[in-house]
Structure formats: C-alpha cells, structure tokens
Amino acid sequence: MIRICENHLKPFVQEHELEYLATQLALAFDNVTEKTGPGNDFLGWVDLPINYDEEEFDRIIYAAERIRSQSDVLLVVGIGGSYLGARAVIEALNPTFRKPDDLEIIFAGHQISGDYLAELLDYLEDKDVSLNVISKSGTTTEPAIAFRILREFMEKKYGEMSTERIFITTDKERGALKELANQVGYETFVVPDDVGGRYSVLTAVGLLPIAAAGISIKELMQGAAEQRELALNFDLEDNVILRYAGWRNILLRRGYDTEILVNYEPGLMFFNEWWKQLYGESEGKDGKGLFPAGVNFTSDLHSMGQFIQDGKRNLFETVLDFKQTRKEIYIPGDEQNLDELNYLTGKSLQEVNRTALQGVMLAHEDGGTPTIRLELDRLDVKHLGALIYFFEFACGISGYLLGVNPFNQPGVEAYKRNMFALLGKPGYEELTKELEQRL
C-alpha cells in the first residue's frame, strides 16, 4: 500500500548501515509490539484499527449524522493531539471549496487569540451550530477558555436544547469535562486511557469530526488495519515502516538532524502539522531528537526551496508522493502561445506536479539533501488511514531507537506553569513573584 523509494537517499548512505541497525530495530520493534519499553501504558494505538469499542463506533456514526442534519457549522474545540489529526484528515480529503449546503467544520481552542474567537462568534450569529469539545485531561487552558465562551454562546442561542448540540470527547471517568457532561447530560465519547493525544486520531478524538465531515471512518480504519498487518511483520527487506524508521535514525547519526516532510497538495498542509506534532513531541526530549519541519511544494520552493537546495547541509526530506489525487484537470492549448506553454497541452496538472517532484528530488540530491520518497497510489481515505498508522508505528520505533520515551511530553508543562503563575492562578504565588522579577 505504501512503497518506499530510496534512490535519492542511497547516494548519502550505505545499505549495510541498515543491516547493522537490525538488532536495535528488532529491540525497538519488540518494545512497541510486546509493550516492553518506557511509556508502555500508552501503546493502545498499536491495535486500535482492529480493537476498538464497536458500540461507540456506531454511536459516532449516528452522532455525526445528527450533527450533519441539524447544523451549518460544527465547532471542534481542542488543541495538539486533540485537534491536529481531525483537521489533517478533513482537509486532506474534503473539497477545498465547499458547497453552500455542506457542513462547515471550524476549529477553535487551538490558540488563545481574542480576535479569532470574537470574529467566530460574529460569524456564527445566523448559523445553526453543533459543538464537539475534545480534551483528554479536560483541563487544557486553550480549549477550556474557548469552550467556556462558546458554551455560553450555545446556551444563549439554544437554551436547554443546547444539550442536544454539544458533544464531549474526554476521559471515560475523570476530569472537568466528564463531570460537566454528567451534570448536564451531554453525550460523551472516550479517549482511551492507553492512547496519548498525538496517537489518538483513530479514536473518537478524530473519528467524530471526521465522520461529521462526511468521510467514511470505516474505510479510514480499514486502511490503518491493512497497514498494521504489514507493520507487524519484522522483515527488514519488506517492512517499509522499519526501513523508514531505520534510515531516518541513520541520517540523524550522520548529522542530518532536521527532517522535512514534503507534500505537493495544499490539502495536506495540516497532515504536515499533525506529523510535526507526532514526531516533535515524541522524539524531542532529553537533549535528543530530529527536528521535524514541513513544507508545501511547489509553493515553498519559492521560499524555503533556496535553503533546502543551498543552505546549511543538515537536512533531509521525506516526500509524500500520491500518484493520483482527488480530481484531474488538463492544460488547454492556446493558438497564440504567448506564454509558451503549448508543450504542456493535454497534460494533466497531476502529471506536471509529479514531474516537478522528480525534478526537485534530483536537484536536492545534487545540492546535498537526501530524500526518502513514500509512494501511494491514491490520495483517498484508505491510503490516509494507512499513512497515519505508518507514521505512528514508525514514530514509536524511532523513539525507542533514540533511547527516549516516545509517549510522554514533559517539556510542554514548563510554559503552562509560567503562564498559570503570571495569570495569578491560586497555588502559584511563589512562582509568580519569581517570574515577575525576571521579567
């Protein structure tokens, strides 16, 4: 389903390097599949495509239908792992320009911008709205603030009926959101205990918004399940996930400490963002890690392209190459040919785009940037499900190869403590004084 092309990587590495890494890859593989590594409480995502709560899955489909029939807009409130997966899949698969009757999905709570929320409230004034708030902990500041404001808006607009329009995705027992849901009677969906935020797109966290967007979550899970089958076979020749995880680790050891995920479809911009979070939070700790960056080509060839071709030589690229995308369009002929484009007459844009991809890989190879190309037949829901699983599995393996716990994120707490202290949250008084002096 996903093929790995190493032609433009091979000038920079030697085949035996992957063979020499086999023992370490086998250990990392066992850490993931046998749940023997650090963070092993959070490996629920490994079996998720074949082992999920079917009753809840049906409820998600039913709730999604209700949302679609009763709303112009679905507000999805969440941040980080409770946000990026849904946005990545929806933007990758749904048309860029929606029809007036299509449900509009709007994300909120993924930053603290007052302009954004105030303008959103104005925009929602004459719309029918449903809201899905997503937070595993139930206490994350950004979505909690947005939800407080948006819940007030929903209650003013719909009174008691707002209960029918608010859906909560959170821990099955604990946290402020669960308590609120119990009190008010909102329908709830579960973030499983053993699945961390950035690995949660195939739980209700991602599935409810994705289903509400009209995308088949059954096919998404099928694609992931097919990739899982392939992932679980430890064979260095055939297992593309192991090869990807191995090569990126080898490149890091050789000094290529920045990996750039490259796409050629604007709809994949948020797939890059999802991937950046997955790898950034999983690997970037204990002073280690590859820095995950993302570019959208060919747009960014006219900005970041210069650096990738010619700047500091510490970069490698992982390119997403979809042979077929959602639509096809052909270049017309023109009698005058003032733009001298007649040599392209009859060619599809996809053909031109993929030719750009090939030209770029060759140029970057000449400039000293290795490329790992991941080839997929189509940009559709099944292949996206497979790609999600591919990157999740590779991320777990990569983290263990690096010697870190790929499933915690201790580093994200530091800014929160400072923000709470500076905002005067009770219990932070000492830190408030200390930080104010430093400021």
Q: So which residues are the catalytic ones?
A: 281, 302, 416
- Write down the least CB distance from residue 168 to ligand PA5, Å: 12
Instruction: Concatenate the DSSP letters of all residues of 197-249 into one string.
Output: GGG-TTSHHHHHHHHHTT--HHHHHHHHHHHHHHHTS--TTT-HHHHHHHHHH
- Write down the least CB distance from residue 84 to ligand PA5, Å: 8
Of 5, 3, 12, the C-alpha closest to 358 is 5
Kindly tell me which of 165 and 178 has the beta carbon lying closer to ligand PA5. 178
Whole-angstrom distance, CA of residue 217 vs CA of residue 335: 47
Whole-angstrom distance, CA of residue 403 vs CA of residue 281: 14
Whole-angstrom distance, CA of residue 333 vs CA of residue 121: 47
Residue 112 sits at the vertex; the CA angle it makes with 106 and 118, to the nearest 5 degrees, is: 60
Residue type, 203: T
Residue type, 133: V
Point out which residues bind ligand PA5 (CB under 6 A): 79-82, 135-137, 140, 143, 196-198, 281, 409
Kindly tell me which of 199 and 428 has the beta carbon lying closer to ligand PA5. 199
- Write down the least CB distance from residue 161 to ligand PA5, Å: 27
The dihedral through the CA atoms of 375, 380, 383, 384 has a sign that is: positive
Whole-angstrom distance, CA of residue 86 vs CA of residue 81: 9
Kindly tell me which of 379 and 395 has the beta carbon lying closer to ligand PA5. 395
Kindly tell me which of 138 and 305 has the beta carbon lying closer to ligand PA5. 138
Of 298, 343, 336, 337, the C-alpha closest to 319 is 298
- Write down the least CB distance from residue 240 to ligand PA5, Å: 25
Kindly tell me which of 196 and 385 has the beta carbon lying closer to ligand PA5. 196
Write out the two tokens for 423. Answer: 């905002």
Nearest residue (beta carbon) to ligand PA5: 197
Are 212 and 69 in contact, with CB atoms under 8 Å apart?
no
Kindly tell me which of 137 and 314 has the beta carbon lying closer to ligand PA5. 137
What is each CA distance from 436 to 141, 288, 418, 430, 439, in whole angstroms? 21, 31, 10, 10, 5
- Write down the least CB distance from residue 90 to ligand PA5, Å: 17
